[in-house]
Amino acid sequence: MLKIENLHAEIDGKQILNGLTLSVGAGEVHAIMGPNGAGKSTLGYVLGGRPGYEVTQGSVSFEGQDLLDMAANERAAAGLFLGFQYPVEIPGVSNVQFLRTALNSQRRARGEAEISAGDFLRLSKAEGEALGMSMDMLKRNVNVGFSGGEKKRNEMVQMGVIDPKLAVLDETDSGLDIDALRVVGDGINRIMRQPHKAVLLITHYQRLLDIVAPDFVHVLADGRIVRSGGPELALQLEREGYGAIAA
Amino acid sequence: MLLDLPSTRTEAWRWSDLSALPEIAQRAKSGVVPTALPWIDCGSESPRLVFVDGRYDEARSKAGPIQIGRVLASAPDHALARLAGQQGWSLKLGEGHAAPGLIQIVHLTSGAADHLAAEIVLEADAQASIAETYMGEGWTNRLTVIALAKGARLMLNRRMLGAGGFVSLTDRADVGEGASLTVATLAAGGNDSRVDSQINLSGQTAFAEIGGALLARGRQRHDANLVLRHDAIGGASRQMWRSVADDRATASVAARVEVARGAQKTDGVQSLKGLLLARSATVNLKPELEIFADDVKCAHGATVGELDRNTLFYLASRGIGESEAKALLTQAFVADAIDRIGEEAVREAYATDVINWFSQSSLVPSEVEGRS
């Protein structure tokens, strides 16, 4: 589904990714772990197409398409979802309006008909309820006045409504208490643990991986993957620290 | 007609460009009226009036309480309004009377220049709600003189949806004791504009709210000049303006609050915000407070910014393309001003006009492009 080869990327002339290679197949959950400054968030932004991140070498293909050749909104329409570490507040735009605009933009880009008002309302209500977000909250402005945990749950509501093929989730577990972590983790499993979908979980900690069990774990250091393994690698990292393993 | 127009060297006109007016005034008028006029569906048989090139179109109108003819209004000190003449329309409501529903007036200028005056006089506790729409492509020049007696209420909403040309609106209003005047203005067409409002809160606890949204692109210029004067105790005023400029356009708001020596307990709020959709565009904001009373509350703020890049990327990451993202965020930006319109049908129509503005970039006429 996703093939990253020898990816080099920089921001403001500073090299962050140094030859990252990774392959993610359908039905798989991959966890990317690593110390601060390793390039984890940069990987998410480069995949999402954030302006300012320049790819200097390497390639990324998503379902056979050249991902790097697509604008951010085209990547979304192709089925890529980027979960933000710090979701943005948008005063004056309600969650419902935002979600409906997003969903219909993607549908139009794929040549599909727009969703009807009734169907959209049912869908967003159901996804909201599954993640503990009431319709009242969904009618409020996007993330404005939301707590850190509510913002992360809102990311999952968006993911549920948009229903992507590949989710790249950047520290979706940060800022969550234990209960919220459970809600978000269950959300990821419910929405994304399907044979035709895949997840790239960028995280610092084991605790989310206790709920969303990864098939593969990779250690990112200095902009490249220095070690890959199964779920046991995450446990080893938790015990021994990055220093011992990334060295 | 020989036009004696102020130059940009005059402080009150420094952001206006009137240089095209003589040429616009010479343009031929077609007199053509579109079959569908932009009526706001307000679900009732309320009065509707049409002025075509400044002449009352009786066949298309249902005047209700509005009278057509000679009007007692003049503004000899105003460069544009003094041309308005003394013909036009008037609304005079006696004590306790309410106008039947929303009064809608469409001003269609098919070319050249037309000048009209209007007089609105509401006796004690009378109320009226008026929505005016300006369309066409000549120079539409209007003077409106408003007098609100004790407890009277007037809601005046205006939108400029011209394909091109120039719209100049000058208001002189006197708001009496406990009376309320709200004026909301939307510029969402292809015309240039100049709005001058001088509002006196002469009675105790009078209220005035004047605000709007100015959207400009291409080489368009919108310019609003507002003076709210508090002359009596306990008055309250609100000024809420949102200016948006794209391409090489200019949207300007100069808003002044004057509080006279005796106008204690005045409560004034002024919020001016500008949004630049391109680095080559200009927003001018000039908030002014002139306070001679010592027990007053006047909050004011003026900011100009661009759309936030993080927000644009967030929208893009959810599949929303750049032009749609800009439209959505601009709509949110002007919502502060539009949402304050009391009449729901009018509010919704104006919100739609804002959305339409983004899909009608071809509105900016070539003669405006060719100026400068």
Percentages helix, strand, coil for chain B (3-state, rounded to 5) are 15, 45, 40
- Given this model, what pLDDT does residue A61 score? 98
Q: How far apart are CA B166 and CA B173, in angstroms?
A: 23
Counting one residue from A and one from B, how many pairs have CB atoms under 8 Å apart? 75
- Whole-number Cα distances in Å, B227 to A41, B200, B224, B254: 51, 8, 10, 8
Contact call for A101 and B314, based on CB within 8 A: no
Cβ–Cβ < 8 Å for B116, B49: no
Q: What is the pLDDT of residue B368?
A: 37
Strand pairing class (B236-245; B267-276): parallel
Tell me how crowded residue A70 is: count the other CB atoms within 10 A of its CB: 17
Q: Residue A37: pLDDT above 50?
A: yes
A141 three-state secondary structure: strand
Domains of chain A: 2-246 (3.40.50.300)
- Confidence (pLDDT) at B1: 54
Residue range B243-296, pLDDT digits in tens? 999 999 999 999 999 999 999 999 999 999 999 999 999 999 999 999 999 999
Handedness of CA B145, B151, B152, B157 (dihedral sign): positive
| Chain A, nearest residue to B313 by Cα | A50
What is the pLDDT, as a whole number, of residue B361? 59
Q: Which residues of B touch A93 (CB under 8 A)?
A: 328-329, 331-332
Rounded mean pLDDT of A154-173?
Answer: 96
Compute the average pLDDT of residues B62-73: 94
CA dist A92 and B311 (Å) reads 12
Give the model confidence (pLDDT) of B7-29 as tens digits: 888 888 999 989 899 999 999 99
Backbone angles phi, psi at B56, to 5 degrees: -65, 125
Distance, CA of B90 to CA of B116 (rounded, Å): 11
* Res. B72: pLDDT tops 80: yes
d(CA B82, CA A75) in angstroms, rounded, equals 58
Here the ipTM equals: 0.96
Q: Tell whether the model's pLDDT for residue B101 goes beyond 80.
A: yes
Give me the mean pLDDT over the B44-55 stretch: 92
What values do phi and psi take at B262, rounded to 5? Answer: -85, -5
Indicate whether B322 pLDDT > 70: yes
DSSP state of B5: -
* In chain B, where the domains are located: 11-369
- Alpha-carbon distance A10 to nearest alpha carbon in chain B (angstroms): 18
State whether A105 and B336 contact (CB < 8 Å): no
Contact by Cβ (8 Å): B17, B23? no
Nearest-Cα distance to chain B for A92, in Å, is 4
When CB atoms are compared, the residue of B318, B321, B331 closest to A162 is B318
C-alpha span between A140 and A58 (Å, rounded): 42
Question: Mean of the pLDDT values across residues B32-43?
Answer: 90
Interface membership of B292 toward A (CB under 8 Å): no
Q: Which two tokens stand for residue A3?
A: 């093939």
Note the pLDDT of residue A101. Answer: 95
Per CB-CB distance under 8 Å, the chain B contacts of A81 are 317
What integer is the mean pLDDT of B111-135? Answer: 97
Tokens 């319709």 -> residue = A135
Give the separation between CA B59 and CA B50, rounded to whole angstroms.
9
Contact B249, B217 (CB under 8 A): yes
Averaged pLDDT of chain B: 93
Measured from the Cβ of residue A52, the count of other Cβ atoms closer than 10 Å reads: 10
Closest CA to A184 of A123, A129, A131, A124: A131
* pLDDT (0 to 100) of residue A174: 86
Chain segment B138-178, per-residue pLDDT in tens: 999 999 999 999 999 999 999 999 999 999 999 999 999 99
How many beta carbons lie within 10 A of that of residue B94, not counting itself? 11
Which residues 6+ apart lie within 8 Å of B281 measured at CB?
A: B216, B245, B246, B247, B248, B249, B250
Could you tell me if B339 lies within 8 Å of chain A, comparing CB atoms? no
Higher pLDDT: A35 or A162? It is A162
Q: Which residues of B touch A82 (CB under 8 A)?
A: 317
Q: Does B35 touch chain A (CB under 8 A)?
A: no
Q: How far apart are CA B290 and CA A154, in angstroms?
A: 46
Shortest distance, CA B101 to any CA of chain A (angstroms)? 30
**Contacts with B322 from chain A: Cβ below 8 Å:** 73
Mode of pairing for the β-strands spanning A2-11 and A14-24: antiparallel
The answer to whether the CB of A158 falls within 8 A of the CB of A102 is yes
Per-residue model confidence (pLDDT) at position B2: 61
Tokens for A44?
């998410």
pLDDT above 90 as % of chain A: 89
Are the C-beta atoms of residues A185 and A178 closer than 8 Å to each other? no
Q: What residues have CB less than 8 Å from A89, skipping those under 6 apart?
A: A141, A142, A143, A144, A146
| Residue from A45, A101, A156 to probe the interface with B (highest B Cβ count within 10 Å) | A101
DSSP A49-80: T-TTEEEEEEEEEETTEEGGGS-HHHHHHHTE
Q: What is the pLDDT of residues B217-249, one digit of tens each?
A: 999 999 999 999 999 999 999 999 999 999 999
Q: Sort strands A141-142 and A166-170 into parallel, antiparallel or unpaired.
A: unpaired
Q: Which residues pair with B304 in a beta bridge?
A: B274
Tell me what the mean pLDDT of segment B102-110 comes to. Answer: 97
Which pLDDT band holds residue B360 (cuts at 50, 70, 90)?
confident
Task: Identify the helix (H) or strand (E) that includes residue B316.
Answer: helix B309-317
Q: What are phi and psi for residue A144, nearest 5 degrees?
A: -75, 120
| A100: chain B residues, CB-CB within 8 Å | none
What 3-state class would DSSP assign to B295?
coil
For residue A156, the distance in angstroms to the closest alpha carbon of chain B comes to 12
**Pairwise CA distance, residues B203 & A200, whole Å:** 67
Strand order in A29-33's β-sheet? A80-83, A166-170, A198-202, A29-33, A216-221, A224-229
Residues 6+ apart with CB under 8 A from A132: A153, A183
Per-residue pLDDT tens over the stretch A60-103: 999 999 999 999 999 999 999 999 999 999 999 999 999 999 99
Local structure of residue B83 (DSSP, 8 states): G
B318 in contact with chain A, both atoms CB, cutoff 8 A? yes
pTM for the full predicted model: 0.88
Segment B348-368 shows an average pLDDT of: 72
